[in-house]
Structure 1
Amino acid sequence: MSSVFSVPSGVRRNGWRGRTRIAGLVAAALVAAAVVPTALHLRSAGAAEYPGPGAVSGNVAVHDPSMVKGPDGTYLLAATAPGIALRTSTDRTKFTYTGLAFPNGTATWTDEYTGTSNGNLWAPDLSYQNGKYYLYYSASSFGKNKSAIFLATSTTGKPGSWTNQGKIYSTTTSSDHNAIDPNLVIDRSGKWYLSLGSFWTGIKMIELNPTTGKRISSSSTVSSIARRSGSTAIEAPAVIYHAGYYYLFTSWDACCQGTSSTYKIMVGRSKTITGPYKDRPGTLLTAGGGTQILGTHGTIVGPGGQSVIQDGDGDVLVYHYYDGADNGVAKLGINRLTWDSSNWPAVS
């Protein structure tokens, strides 16, 4: 194995199919390299027109990546793993593995939800607010919607520097949705919200207290912002604001099956942060709408698990994909987002 395999990123479970979600490359590399084309949906570009990922190097063995630019200009990237795997970059191109947010992968407070000692922590969400880094992440186990989202903070972002701030939101076996895949978004008035969820009844949103980063009230509204018709395979919300709209990016279909993955990235938008979100033709995202902006093309298979960073030089889509030219290895994808005259995004 090459050096990018040196630190496995762990394993994540997919609650819909009960499939293993592979955070690192070790299991993905064992998958046969036959590329399975993604089924197409409404989209802004044909699959043949999708660009390849931008050039990245170094330790790019990631799954469910989230990236933020710190006050010193260094990029910090977090990915699914026991203890949350961290990487840094000075140029958004070359990435160096630096360690785990929680030393030795120890996060005993999540064991109730992972079902094992110091299990994998899924889909971290990074941001820099109030002079410190905020790290939201989820804990769950195979095929279960008994799940929880937690928060940790750090003034430096370095491995071992993170302080557990406790549980933010949880679901039980009787819940109709799943407390995973968190994403912090702050609206134009300064209110904090957390989008979350996957499978069962789709993507949800809750309001947070901007002082604590925790849920504003245990009885506050849980809004539904996206749901598929005839399928529960929707997850990984990421919300940004652009030109008068909030844009909701989600991943659809099957993740974590190497080159058999059918993940794809969809988008819709709304004038208000809690919806209603609609796709380009005007279908509500709560009624199965979604406009595809990236899917399988060539040897780039199953892109998804995305986040979006609004950087000084524009908006950037960060995601993982499976490399059909490298035995299905899961790798980091980074592309710019461009905006057309109607303010719909495209990958460039």
Structure 2
Amino acid sequence: MRHLHRGGVLAAVLTLLLAGAAPAPAAGPDRYRNPVSAGFADTFADPVVVRGDDGIWYAFGTSDPLREGEGTAHRVPIARSTDLVDWTFVGDAFTADQRPAYAAPGSAFWAPDVRRVAGRWVMYMTVTDTTVSDDTFDTAVGVATAPSPAGPWTFADTPVVAPRPGAGGGYLWTIDPSQLTGADGRSWLYYGSYYGGISVTELSPDGLRAVGDPTPVAVDNKFEGAYALRRDGWYYLFASAANCCAGPATGYSVQVGRSRDPRGPFVDRDGRRLDVSRAGGTPVLTQNGNRWIGPGHNAVLTDLSGQDWIAYHAIDRADPYLDEPFGVNERPMLLDRLDWIDGWPTVNAGAGPSEGARPAPVTTGRVDARFDTSDLRGWRTEAGSWRAAGGTLTGTGTLASRTGIGGDLRVETDLRLTGADTAGLRLGAVDVRVGRGRLTAGTASTPLPAGTDLRNRHNLAVEVRGRQLVATIGPSRLGDPVARVTLRLPRPANGTLAVRAEGGPAEFDNVSAARLYRPARHAVAPPRVGPVLRDWSDEFADGLDPAWRWVRQDPAATVSGGALRWPVQDADLTGTGNTAGVLLRDAPTGNYVAETKVTLDLGEETVRNYQQAGLVAYVDDDRFARLSTVAIWNTRQVEFGYELPFAGQPVYGGSIVGTPGTTTWLRLAHRVDPVNGEHEFRAGSSPDGRHWTWGAVWTFPADTTPRIGLVAHGGATPAVTAQFDYLRFHR
């Protein structure tokens, strides 16, 4: 959530606003279109979404103006929805004069993260300017609490993480917080950005103070926008890479690593750590050539069917700024399906951001009880006494739904043990209950973490797929279960759904039963790489092929021994300088894949900005896409950079695609869009020529003719030579 600009609602006002109904769906029943924030905002960056105690979904965004022409930044805007698709603006979390004592006048609040912690709602947010210094970016992680997601929100007097002086001057970027409750019940906070990297620290039980020493978990100068969750015994750290806010050249994307410990080390699918110079990161979400670029800064939520969804912001490449060019980047909120394939998350099975109408999240079910009235006609008392009032069901004994259940399904409820020894759900003949320090499903049982206070509201969820039952309990239903138990059923869990409390009263809310989601099993196929087109390729076996053409020829580049050797130039292509040489050749018509193998020894850790070498798709000096292995401060990355003319000047941005080695294989997969004729280039990289990471797509207008070439530039100190073994085209 790196911003290139700076930027409460009273309970009575919120009550009035919440009484309004959401607008009718725009894409038809059970369908939706991105951006989902269009009904109330043109921009809604860094979103996080929670389900409130009232069963309504709430979204929180960073402090920008919401509409074009508005001009005034909101102070953590809040929206609500009954279906995750159609949203209504509620108001701001904080009034214009509301700020913590340590915040400087004019400070903005960015990137909120909202969770239920210790029985209340807690918001963590970036405070952009504090009173510890005259620096206008001495950031801190602040915290506020509220009885509900709608507020009213009250700041704590001290920050959770105070401003941190940087060894190189200024203050480390203490931004983008994300809280997680671990399997042992302890609370953790992830935070940080490019200057200083991402760290995690333990929180006090009330979630309001950092305790102990922070642990670095992701390298600086590559990642920000952390979001953490736990699934199947793994902790997953989502983080966004590259610049969030380069207008029409924004290449922001989401990558992930996982660990068995909330403190890391987090590694990607290929075993590469996220906290080292050549940092890894498995792609989760990246632009695919459609309307949306720069998708990133995500949160994750789960609908009532058990399907995970990713909320994030992105930029419409045709409308990248909120008002004037180079001002506030317009970043509306998008929502897409998050699939888990072979233990790794990916958006729409790897297809990326959606643009057309899609199946909507499941936000109601066969059973869907909010208990907003005293009417219990859909239920029957089997034992004890029950009453409903004010959005809560309270009682002891057993209360059964009159609606039958069966098949693969997900059942859940929010519950509190106000006096009961145990409480929970009955699915057919199977009891799932919590209490006496345990989570129990039938004959299976597991202990709850020490200190788990079931007098605070927790979410109990049960999924049945075939004969397999999985039950979890956690405080926020945001990928934070503190206990999980599995049970093999002797027969399907058909019959009735009931709530149960033994030994005293318990409170239940938001009881639902919905058909269980169907998981995606296979990812979208990567670009096909066919046979080599020999007439278009060059193995550098006998000098330089006559088909090559230079833009600003570099006489230091030579061909010998089956390779092109090119000393890295003290020059560049970005901006208006345009001093670097480019070695080009025509590309085949239609779809193709261009590949090179480049060796460039950039060392480790040291700052060698911005030495690089690689492939380029080139129209002219102000419109190109450059895929190169590059030194970016202390890191080594594969960057897919892009420059285009916009509003009278060149604009440059980039996306990160894989991890480079000393030798790296690079590919550009070219596709002509059959609808609009645009040239789409998707980038891929490999450390061995066999295992490929595919990333972002950059597009060129249909009336251009991109050529393919090689570059080696970015700085001459220390002297280093790039070696290209070939340039091959594949059909």
AA partner of residue 307 (structure 2): G
- Please say if residues 144 and 154 of structure 2, whose CA atoms lie closer than 8 Å, have aligned partners that are also in contact: yes
Instruction: Say if 2:242 is the partner of 1:253.
Output: yes
Aligned-partner Cα distance in 2 for 1:86–1:55: 14
1:20 Cα offset (Å): 3.0
Q: Which residue of 2 aligns with 1:39?
A: none
**Structure 1 position 172, deviation (Å):** 3.2
> 1:282 aligned to 2:271?
yes
Q: Following TM superposition, by how much is the alpha carbon of 1:326 offset from its aligned partner in structure 2, in angstroms?
A: 3.7
Cα distance in 1 for residues equivalent to 2:94 and 2:177: 18
Specify whether residues 110 and 103 from structure 1 end up closer, same or farther in structure 2 by C-alpha distance, changes over 3 A only. Answer: same
2:94 aligned to which of 84, 99, 102? 102
Distance 1:196 1:122, change over 3 A: same
Counterpart among 118, 121, 137 of residue 109 in structure 2: 121
Partner residue of 1:26?
Answer: none
Larger RCO, structure (CA 8 Å, separation 6 or more): 1
Structure 1 residue 286 displacement after superposition: 0.8
Deviation at 1:302, TM superposition (A): 0.3
User: Quick one: distance in 2 between partners of 1:88 and 1:248?
Assistant: 27
What is the correspondence of 1:231-246 to structure 2 with a 5 Å cutoff?
232-246=221-235
Out of 280, 305, 314, the residue aligned to residue 321 of structure 1 is 314
1:40 aligns with: none
Q: Say if 1:83 and 1:105, in contact at 8 Å, map to a contact too.
A: no
Structure 1 residues 20, 130: closer, same or farther in 2, change over 3 A? Answer: same
Deviation at 1:262, TM superposition (A): 1.4
Question: Residues 147, 289 of structure 1: CA spacing in aligned structure 2 closer, same or farther, 3 A cutoff?
Answer: same
User: Structure 2 matches for 1:181-196, cutoff 5 A?
Assistant: 181-196=176-191
Structure 1: how far apart are the matches of 2:198 and 2:149? 28
**1:338 Cα shift?**
0.9
| Equivalent in the alignment of 2:728 | none
- Pair 1:139-2:120 in alignment: no
Q: 1: CA distance between counterparts of 2:186 and 2:100?
A: 31
Maintained 8 Å contact 2:309/2:338: yes
What's the counterpart of residue 27 of structure 1?
Answer: none
**Post-superposition shift, 1:107?**
1.5
- Shift in Å at residue 309 of structure 1? 2.1
Matches within 5 A, 1:32-181: 53=34, 57-60=38-41, 61-81=43-63, 82-104=74-96, 106-107=98-99, 109-112=101-104, 117-141=105-129, 146-158=138-150, 161-166=152-157, 167-174=159-166, 177-181=172-176
Question: CA contact under 8 A between 1:268 and 1:279: conserved in structure 2?
Answer: yes
Is the CA contact (8 Å cut-off) linking 1:237 and 1:250 kept in structure 2? yes
Distance change (3 Å), C-alpha of 1:336 and 1:54: farther
For 2:266 and 2:34, the matched residues in 1 are separated by: 27
Aligned to 1:338: 339
Structure 1 position 163, deviation (Å): 1.2
Q: Report the counterpart of residue 20 of structure 1 in structure 2.
A: 5
Distance (whole Å) between structure 2 residues aligned to residue 337 and residue 21 of structure 1? 32
Could you give the per-residue CA deviations for residues 63-95 of structure 1, whole angstroms, max 9, x where no partner exists? 111111111111111111152111111111111
Q: Distance in 2 between matches of 1:70 and 1:129?
A: 13
Match in the other structure for 2:295: 303
Amino acid at match of 1:291: T
CA distance in 2, matches of 1:225, 1:144: 26
- Alpha-carbon distance, 1:278 to partner: 0.3
Separation of aligned partners in 2, 1:203 and 1:292: 18
- In structure 2, relative to structure 1, the CA distance for the partners of 1:212 and 1:261 (3 Å cut) is closer
Q: Shift of residue 144 of structure 1?
A: 6.2
SS class of match (1:259): helix
Contact residue 196 and residue 237 of structure 1 kept, 8 A: yes
1:148 alignment partner AA = A
1:84-109 Cα deviation digits (max 9, x unpaired): 11111111111111111112263153
Name the stretch that deviates more: 286-295 or 174-183.
174-183
CA distance in 1, matches of 2:319, 2:283: 25
The AA in structure 1 aligned to 2:188 is Y
Q: 1:53 to 1:292 in 2, by over 3 A?
A: farther
1:37 aligns to what? Answer: none
Deviations 1:305-337 (Å, cap 9, x if unpaired)? 211224433222111000124455321111121
Q: Distance in 2 between matches of 1:184 and 1:64?
A: 15
Residues 1:331 and 1:76: Cα distance change in structure 2 (over 3 Å): same
* TM-score, length-scaled by structure 1: 0.77
Q: Relative to 1, partners in 2 of residues 1:193 and 1:108: Cα closer, same or farther, differing over 3 Å?
A: closer
Task: Give secondary structure in 1 for the equivalent of 2:103.
Answer: helix
- Per the alignment, residue 45 of structure 1 pairs with none
Structure 1 counterpart SS, 2:213:
coil
CA distance change for structure 1 residues 108 and 214 in 2, over 3 Å: closer, same or farther?
closer
State the alpha-carbon separation in 2 of the partners of residues 101 and 154 from structure 1: 10
Residue of structure 2 equivalent to 1:25: none
Higher-Rg structure is 2
Q: SS where residue 346 of structure 1 aligns?
A: strand
Rounded Cα–Cα distance in structure 2 between residues aligned with 1:147 and 1:177: 8
8 Å CA contact 1:203, 1:235 repeated in 2? yes
The structure that is helix-richer by fraction is 1
| Structure (1 or 2) with the greater strand fraction | 2
Deviation at 1:21, TM superposition (A): 7.3
Shift of 1:56: 5.6
2-structure distance, mates of 1:131, 1:55: 30
Tell me the percent identity: 28
CA distance 1:107–1:100, change in 2 (3 Å): same
Deviations, residues 167-226 of structure 1 (Å, cap 9, x unaligned): 11112333674221100001111100000000123110000012253213xxx1110111
Q: Deviations for 1:107-129, whole angstroms, at most 9, x for unmatched residues?
A: 153533xxxx2332111101123
CA distance in 1, matches of 2:302, 2:265: 23
Q: Which residue of 1 aligns with 2:518?
A: none
Helix, strand or coil at the partner of 1:94 = coil
Structure 2 unpaired stretches of 5+: 8-32, 64-73, 322-329, 349-731
Residue 254 (structure 2) aligns with: 265
Check the 8 A contact 2:141/2:160 in 1, yes or no. yes
Paired with 2:265 and 2:56, the residues of 1 have a C-alpha distance of 36
**Residue 214 of structure 1 pairs with residue 209 of structure 2:** yes
**Equivalent residue in structure 1 for 2:193, among 198, 202, 206:** 198
User: Structure 1: 5+ residue runs without aligned partners?
Assistant: 1-11, 23-51
Q: Distance in 2 between matches of 1:185 and 1:310?
A: 15
Counterpart residue identity of residue 98, structure 2 = T
In the alignment, the residues of structure 2 paired with residue 75 and residue 105 of structure 1 have an alpha-carbon distance, to the nearest angstrom, of 27
Deviates more, 1:145-154 or 1:55-64: 55-64
SS of 1:109's partner is: coil
* 8 Å Cα contact 2:35/2:332 also seen in 1: no
Aligned match of 2:721: none
Q: Secondary structure at the match of 1:339?
A: strand
